[in-house]
Amino acid sequence: MADPMIAARVDAAVAAWLEWLPRWTPGSFRSRARICRRCYQSPILASAGLSHDVPHQVQHALVVRLQKIIDKTVDEFTTASLPGLRLELDAADALKQKAGYRPNDGLDPEYDGLELDPEPEPGQPFLFTLEGLASPLDKQINDPRPPLTDDQKAELRSEMALADECAVVTGQRVCGAVKIHAPRIRLAVETFVEPQIQSMLDELTNSLEFPS
Ligand SMILES: [Zn+2]
């Protein structure tokens, strides 16, 4: 199920991550009280060979870059093939614009989704929910359009299922494409991340052995 367009996008995302990685320092790593919804048990991380013993921000920066490929592909599919869902999403976006600036919009991949994530949901939720579309974001912004009829709701539900299916298939293709890069990714972690962690551990050991 290889897809040349997905493979090219994954190549570019991995290249951007490899370019960013040398700038990572342990000081830029913030610990989290909560599990990260994007990284926890992510099949992307497993495919990239980054699921164990790697600082969260290093993982997160890759996951977000690759997740954006899935989002973009689903968005393109929606525009091309799912007119009802496209209308709903555009309307939700317009309401969001009215609601003004959001601090979690437009962040760099290394910070995107950190701290602001809701708790992970059990099971495999739909990408979009009817409730989310019907009452987007700020309650004080009213949707001026008439409510959907039952037929429109049913049509929208089936379009959402297709969008969800597209996300699953694209996710599998992204995982397949990133596997090819796993050795380079591992080597980059060994080169730029592990020595910094080792020197932190050495400092800690020294300070324990020779208390001032
Ligand atoms: Zn994360």
71 vs 87: CA distance, rounded Å: 17
- Output the CA 42–ligand 1 centroid distance in Å: 9
Distance, CA 7 to ligand 1 centroid (Å)?
23
Q: From the CA of 53, how far away is ligand 1's center (Å)? A: 14
User: Cα of 205 to ligand 1 centre, how many Å?
Assistant: 29
**Cα 36 to ligand 1 centre (Å):** 5
| CA–CA dist 106, 80 (Å, integer) | 25
Task: Quote the ligand 1 centre to 52 CA distance (angstroms).
Answer: 13
For 175, residues 6+ apart whose C-beta sits below 8 A from its C-beta are 43, 44, 46, 47
Distance 110 CA to ligand 1 centre (A): 9
For each of the chain's 212 residues, which pLDDT tens digit applies?
578 999 999 999 999 999 999 999 887 555 666 788 899 899 999 999 998 789 999 999 999 999 999 999 999 999 999 999 999 999 988 888 887 756 666 677 777 766 544 444 445 445 555 555 554 444 456 777 888 899 999 999 999 999 999 999 999 999 999 999 999 999 999 999 999 988 888 888 888 776 55
Element (H, E) at 9: helix 4-20
**Residue owning tokens 């921000």:** 57
The CA 152 to ligand 1 mean position distance, Å, reads 36
pLDDT at position 33 is 64
Report the pLDDT value the prediction gives residue 129, as an integer from 0 to 100: 54
Model pLDDT, residue 201? 84
Neighbouring residues of the ion ligand 1, judged by CB less than 5 Å: 36, 38-39, 60
Confidence (pLDDT) at 108 = 74
Record the tokens describing residue 91, joined without a space: 């309307």
What's the CA-to-centroid distance between 116 and ligand 1, angstroms?
11
Q: Kindly give the distance from the C-alpha atom of residue 97 to the centroid of ligand 1, in angstroms, as a whole number.
A: 26
Separation CA 12–CA 14 (nearest Å): 6
Distance CA 75, CA 151 (A): 23
Domain ranges of the chain: 4-207
CB 63 within 8 A of CB 109: no
Q: Find how far residue 26's CA is from the centre of its chain.
A: 22
Kindly give the distance from the C-alpha atom of residue 51 to the centroid of ligand 1, in angstroms, as a whole number. 11
